[in-house]
C-alpha cells in the first residue's frame, strides 16, 4: 500500500502543475507537447482525468481506439483536453488529494506520470519546472521495475544508469550519469530531450 508521504508528493505536484498551467497564454495551451500527437492542453486534460477516471470510461473508449491502451489514452486526453483551460486547471486542483484511479490502471504510476508530464508540458514551452529529486528517484524505481509500456530494462540493456543527485542506480554496462529527472526522461523514452544533461562513457551511444 502506498503511504501518506507518496500521496503528499502526488498532491503537491498536482497543485504545482495547476499553478503553472494557470500562467499559460492561449497560444501555449495549443502548442505541441513532448508527447507525440498531444498538445499541451491534451497533457493537462490527461492529468485532470487520471484521479477520477473509471474502468467504464476506459472500456467505452475501447472500440474507437481499437482496444489499444495507448490509443485509448490519447483519445481520452484529447477529449478532456478540449475543455476550457480554466476548467482543466480547476479539475486538477479539485482532485489533487484523490488517491484513486481506474481499477485497470495502477496508482503506483501516479507520481512518475506527473513528473514526466510536467516536463512534457514545460520543456517545449521553455518554462523551467524543477522537481524534487526524491520524487524523481521514486519514479525511476517504479519505471525500472515495470514492463509495459516503457520496457526500460530491456531497452537500456548494456547501460549502467547512475543518478548524480539521488541515491539510485540500475543496470550494468557503459555508465551513463545524469540528474534523476533526466534519467527518468531517459527511462520513459525521452532521452534526446535531455542529452545535454547526460554524461559518462555510454551517454553518446544512448542518445544516438
Residue 174 scores a pLDDT above 80? yes
pLDDT mean over 66-75: 79
Distance CA 143, CA 112 (A): 8
What is the pLDDT at residue 63? 76
Count of CA atoms in the C-beta half-sphere (13 A) of 104: 13
Instruction: Convert the pLDDT of each residue in 5-55 to its tens digit.
Output: 999 999 999 999 999 999 999 999 999 999 999 999 999 999 999 999 987
Query: Of 57, 39, 176, whose CA–CA distance to 105 is shortest?
Result: 57
What is the pLDDT at residue 67? 62
What is the pLDDT at residue 169? 98
* pLDDT grade for 72, boundaries at 50, 70 and 90: confident
Instruction: Convert the pLDDT of each residue in 102-114 to its tens digit.
Output: 887 899 999 999 9
What is the pLDDT at residue 142? 98
Q: Which residues contact 102 (CB under 8 A, 6 or more apart)?
A: 53, 54, 55, 57, 58
pLDDT mean over 74-81: 93
pLDDT mean over 202-206: 97
What is the pLDDT at residue 61? 74
What is the pLDDT at residue 56? 82
Question: Mean pLDDT score of the chain, rounded to an integer?
Answer: 95
pLDDT mean over 64-69: 68
Sheet holding 198-199, edge to edge: 169-171, 158-163, 173-178, 198-199
pLDDT mean over 142-158: 96
User: How much of the chain, in percent, has pLDDT values that exceed 70?
Assistant: 97
Residue 155 scores a pLDDT above 90? yes
Distance CA 178, CA 198 (A): 5
7, three cell numbers: 500521496
What is the pLDDT at residue 62? 66
* pLDDT grade for 59, boundaries at 50, 70 and 90: confident
Amino acid at each position: 500500500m502506498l503511504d501518506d508521504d507518496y500521496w503528499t508528493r502526488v498532491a503537491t505536484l498536482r497543485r504545482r502543475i495547476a499553478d503553472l498551467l494557470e500562467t499559460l497564454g492561449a497560444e501555449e495551451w495549443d502548442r505541441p507537447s513532448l508527447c507525440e500527437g498531444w498538445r499541451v492542453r491534451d497533457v493537462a486534460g490527461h492529468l485532470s482525468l487520471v484521479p477520477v477516471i473509471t474502468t467504464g470510461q476506459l472500456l467505452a473508449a475501447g472500440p474507437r481506439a481499437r482496444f489499444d491502451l495507448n490509443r485509448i489514452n490519447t483519445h481520452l486526453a484529447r477529449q478532456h483536453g478540449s475543455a476550457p483551460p480554466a476548467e482543466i486547471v480547476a479539475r486538477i486542483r479539485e482532485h489533487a488529494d484523490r488517491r484513486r484511479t481506474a481499477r485497470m490502471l495502477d496508482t503506483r504510476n501516479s507520481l512518475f506520470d506527473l513528473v514526466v508530464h510536467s516536463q512534457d508540458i514545460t520543456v517545449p514551452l521553455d518554462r523551467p519546472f524543477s522537481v524534487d529529486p526524491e520524487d524523481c528517484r521514486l519514479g525511476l524505481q517504479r519505471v525500472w521495475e515495470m514492463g509495459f509500456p516503457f520496457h526500460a530494462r530491456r531497452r537500456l540493456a548494456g547501460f549502467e544508469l547512475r543518478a548524480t543527485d539521488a541515491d539510485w542506480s540500475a543496470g550494468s554496462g557503459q555508465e551513463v550519469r545524469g540528474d534523476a529527472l533526466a534519467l527518468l526522461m531517459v527511462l520513459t523514452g525521452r532521452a534526446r530531450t535531455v542529452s545535454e544533461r547526460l554524461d559518462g562513457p555510454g551517454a553518446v551511444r544512448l542518445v544516438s
